[in-house]
Structure 1
Amino acid sequence: MKKYLSILLFFASLPFSFAQNWDWGGPLDPIQAKMKIRHYRLELELIPETQSILGSNTITFSSDEKLDTLRFQLIDEYEVSRVLMDGKEVVFFHQNDVLDILPVDCTCDQVQVFYGGKTPIAQNPPWTGGFTWEKDQLDNHWMGLSSQGEGAKIFMPALDHPSSEPSEGVDLIFTAPKPYFVASNGRLIQTEEKGAHVSYHWSTAYPINNYNINFTLGVFQEAKMEFESISGNRIPMHVWVLQENRAKAEELLEVLKISTETQEKYFGPFPFPKDKIAVVETPYLGMEHQTINAYGNNFQFVAMGEVNYDWLLHHELGHEWFGNKVSVGDWADMWIHEGLTAYGDWLFYWEHGGPEAYFAKVKSESRNIPHAKPVVSPPNSTEEQAYHPEIYTKGAMVIHSLRGVLGDELFFPAIKAFVMDDRFTYQNQVNTRDFTDFIQSFTGQDLSGFFDLYLYTTSLPKVKVSKKGKDGYVVSLQGIDFEMPVEVETSEGIQRVSVGKKGTEVKSSTPVVVDPRGWLMLEK
């Protein structure tokens, strides 16, 4: 998602308030809790000249009881013209960004909402999202959508809560004037010309979070290949860039290929093999959108070992594993999305730059963690409440520290096992306790003190070193009631010892250095 380093600059330049503040998450509405979404069929005409959309969303749902109200979210900026159930128009009320529908007396499991209007314009995408309508250098329209902070209600009626993912996926049909292409989620199963317009039908059967449903319009140059996954699947891989950047398409495709290979090594096979691996150039920085990541980093590739690296592309791609395959139903646990994905960014340094590059990256990132807020937010948090820079940096640092505590022989298999476990993937959403309980069960270690300290508090253990005798030192960690394995550099080299508040004696003829490589978050 939105890279945290840019956030500080963004907030510094913000006005005090916006005209709209479409947050989402928090407690699930009791009326909506009675219903499960199975499928969305979104059919929209995209109208660049007026920056408008017009069409319908057919919502397939299920419930264990007869419902007297169907409640969805849709911002008031759109006008709902009619609602159909069982082929009949039904009564609806649309106000305060909520759409309430009174069902007809039937056994229907579908409702079709017709709506349209001018789109909300993103104030500073992707941090404050909406639609971004621009022109490319050839004077072609170029539209991008970002909605992680706002939810799907800014572009379609939906049960707009992070815990609600359509279990049977989505069909997305977009009609645009020629010569425009619309890139979206899943696979393109049909292209149909309609006079001066063309329709693109995208489809995915995988569950998908509301803000991951996405579409980008433009005149693009495509580069593609078949990616050979470690699972044995051959997966379509695409990049779409503006015509003015067509010379960069093949290079971007190669960067995407290398990043995907690196992610697969540490986190397992690409999670959506029946769809595609893809990025599309967008008129804003970037965002994770399932199988169609937004890319706006201007091809700022950096050499890393023998390959090229693009931090934005690699980070958003990492969300295919953490955020899209493994997803949370409460924004309180958003660090699972961002912290694990950010740690995957660090692993690119490890894989292609080696340990020196990796530890330099860790040191650079960790020195700026303010430890101002716990990584895990209170239950039923909204996106705005849970989203802050430390879910990236400190979240990644927690995973790095976990590696230091467990050692590579346990750490890497444990993380990969978690992301490969059916109990925690696709429609089976997770919370922080799912993750911490799994790691402890898999490794057979009691890590409750470690996790409670670093995930739920802002406290840090304070290092204390005392001289003992001629060539001895006692190392302790004050402020905790458990022990952790800690590296201590002595005159004989680096030793790994278990340290807590009672202290551990080490022999050294020179002053010792505690945690010289920076595995842990400590107050020194």
Structure 2
Amino acid sequence: MDHRVLSRLAAPAVAALLALTTGCTGETVQGRPGASGVRDPFFPKAGNGGYQVEHYSLDLDYDPADGQLHATAVITARAEQGLSSFNLDLSGLEVEGVSVQGEGARFNRTGNELTVRPAEDLERGEVFRTEVDYSGRPKAVTDPDGSEEGWIVTPGGKGAVGVGEPVGSMAWFPGNHHPSDKATYDITVTVPRGYEAVSNGELRSRTEEGDGRTAFAWHSAEPMASYLATVAVGKFEVTTGRTASGIPVYTAVSPGEAAASEPVLARLPEMVEWGIGRFGPYPFSATGAIVLPAHSLGYALETQTRPVFPGAPGSEELVLHELAHQWFGDSVSPKSWKDMWLNEGFATYAEWLWSEDHGGPSAQQHFDAYVAGDTRVDGEAGSDWGAFPPAAPRNPKEISASPVYGRGAMVLQRVRQEVGDAKFFALVRGWAADHRHGNASTADFTAYAEEKTGRDLTEVWDVWLYGKDRPKAPKAPKDAKASAAP
């Protein structure tokens, strides 16, 4: 994500659950309710306990003229405990019916929690299928930092986009909305003829319906955190192609942004290949971009395989930043929202590497500019990057603040200084490969870095990653000169 683009169950409900009995037999339940959150340090109600989702199949019918969404979500999950009930995160929207394993299920709503009571308890290890029919006019969700996510109607009301970092996906489909639960997806979107509907992964089919509507069926074969799912509806100009190594490229651009977007997006295939060279194999089966009408959002977002931009991307670095997230954030996703620097520090550092490899300032020069506050080298160098340690934001508002980005990148450069280029780039590629399509924490990274490089990096972690004071440049870096990766 890049916020720098445009500036940058309640007690009664628990009691009710405990009173429920088995729908078919009337016997007391043997399972127990799944938790209503995974206790994320910043978003404790995000996600749900007791199960892990394996697959989402979303069938969405949306009309931009009235903003109404009619949808069915089929969620295939595995019970991690005996379940008498379980929760799904869903904001707003009317639930019309729920079934579990093909049988009607009781359900109730409390805030953003949809509590589902299957007709029969689910056994630990059981793979179960939940179907939710729902409809309404999806809304935006306001983040702790004041930005909007969820379901956003684009300027002029002629389209919409679903974006979800950190919890906005609950505005348009029910699910287990925490990055620690990744799943595969099939998303079918039906819209009036003349509109395009763009989502993640590969377009499996485009079908003209008999009622003047078009259905777009998208498939994401690789696991995806729900905050990275997207749907964009609009009258886009679509361009397709392939990178040099054969990865399909699908870009959808709002007509008014096409001319300004073309020079930067033309380099996207080259950026993918560059990323493969730096970070290892591209982790997904497709790539591309979605460019919305200007001012649709206040940020760009690394939605999986197809980042979203709020108007024409203003720089190569912005496109590169969101593309780098495909390795760092999308494939290797955070275990909790407190680990956001693993997303943003790596993506910012990728910008520095792109500059280094294409005739601009080196990563070391970017680092030095931050230390000195030299905005002539890096426009973000004057930010308050030392306000807090990147691995320890103090509240949810700060997970997208400057230290997470800039100082996060500085941590990586300090590691590079300490271990040298050969070990550093082996570490970066190894991190992406060994944690591919999984989740990782800051503690996972620090342990991995020391194991991979064979170096004690305690001082780097203590000063740059966790230190509360603004760090100073090291007196004698062991490898200050940046060079090409081996």
Q: Take 1:316 and 1:89, find their aligned partners in 2: how far apart are those partners?
A: 42
C-alpha contact 2:70 2:134 (8 A) present in aligned 1: yes
Q: Take 1:226 and 1:240, find their aligned partners in 2: how far apart are those partners?
A: 15
Q: Which residue of 2 aligns with 1:320?
A: 326
C-alpha contact 2:189 2:197 (8 A) present in aligned 1: yes
The alpha carbon displacement at 1:224 in A equals 1.9
Deviations 1:319-364 (A, max 9, x none): 1010011111111111000001110011111010245686157513
C-alpha contact 1:37 1:164 (8 A) present in aligned 2: yes
Distance change (3 Å), C-alpha of 1:70 and 1:319: same
C-alpha contact 1:58 1:112 (8 A) present in aligned 2: yes
Q: Which residue of 1 aligns with 2:354?
A: 348
Q: Take 1:105 and 1:173, find their aligned partners in 2: how far apart are those partners?
A: 30
Q: Which residue of 1 aligns with 2:108?
A: 93
Q: Which residue of 1 aligns with 2:267?
A: 255
| Matched letter for residue 205 of structure 2 | Q
| Matched letter for residue 220 of structure 1 | F
Deviations 1:438-472 (A, max 9, x none): 11111111112211221112235668xxxxxxxxx
The alpha carbon displacement at 1:389 in A equals 1.9
Aligned length: 434
The alpha carbon displacement at 1:368 in A equals 3.1
Q: Which residue of 1 aligns with 2:165?
A: 148
The alpha carbon displacement at 1:46 in A equals 1.0
C-alpha contact 2:200 2:229 (8 A) present in aligned 1: yes
| Matched letter for residue 317 of structure 2 | W
Q: Which residue of 2 aligns with 1:178?
A: 193
SS in 1 for 2:412: helix
Q: Which residue of 2 aligns with 1:307?
A: none
Of residues 436, 455, 458, the one that matches 1:425 is: 436
C-alpha contact 1:69 1:103 (8 A) present in aligned 2: yes
Mapped pair 1:445 → 2:455: yes
Stretches of structure 1 lacking an aligned partner (at least 5 in a row):
9-22, 302-309, 464-483, 488-495, 498-514, 519-524
Q: Take 1:24 and 1:106, find their aligned partners in 2: how far apart are those partners?
A: 24
| Matched letter for residue 236 of structure 1 | P
| Matched letter for residue 2 of structure 2 | K
RMSD: 3.0
C-alpha contact 2:385 2:402 (8 A) present in aligned 1: no
Mapped pair 1:102 → 2:122: no
Q: Take 2:83 and 2:142, find their aligned partners in 1: how far apart are those partners?
A: 38
Q: Take 2:341 and 2:288, find their aligned partners in 1: how far apart are those partners?
A: 24
The alpha carbon displacement at 1:245 in A equals 4.2
C-alpha contact 1:239 1:252 (8 A) present in aligned 2: no
C-alpha contact 1:323 1:336 (8 A) present in aligned 2: yes
| Matched letter for residue 115 of structure 1 | Y
Q: Which residue of 1 aligns with 2:71?
A: 55
Q: Which residue of 1 aligns with 2:19?
A: none
Q: Take 2:229 and 2:399, find their aligned partners in 1: how far apart are those partners?
A: 21
TM norm structure 2 = 0.81
The alpha carbon displacement at 1:175 in A equals 0.7
Q: Take 2:346 and 2:359, find their aligned partners in 1: how far apart are those partners?
A: 19
Q: Take 2:205 and 2:47, find their aligned partners in 1: how far apart are those partners?
A: 36
Larger Rg computed on CA atoms: 1
Superposed counterparts of 1:154-165, under 5 Å:
154-165=171-182
Q: Take 1:24 and 1:182, find their aligned partners in 2: how far apart are those partners?
A: 34
Q: Take 2:350 and 2:314, find their aligned partners in 1: how far apart are those partners?
A: 19
Q: Which residue of 2 aligns with 1:205?
A: 221
Stretches of structure 2 lacking an aligned partner (at least 5 in a row):
9-37, 370-377
Q: Which residue of 1 aligns with 2:279?
A: 267
| Matched letter for residue 331 of structure 2 | K
Q: Take 2:314 and 2:79, find their aligned partners in 1: how far apart are those partners?
A: 48
Mapped pair 1:392 → 2:405: yes
The alpha carbon displacement at 1:202 in A equals 0.6
SS in 1 for 2:267: helix
The alpha carbon displacement at 1:248 in A equals 5.6
| Matched letter for residue 431 of structure 1 | S
The alpha carbon displacement at 1:418 in A equals 1.4
Q: Which residue of 2 aligns with 1:2?
A: 2
Identity %: 25
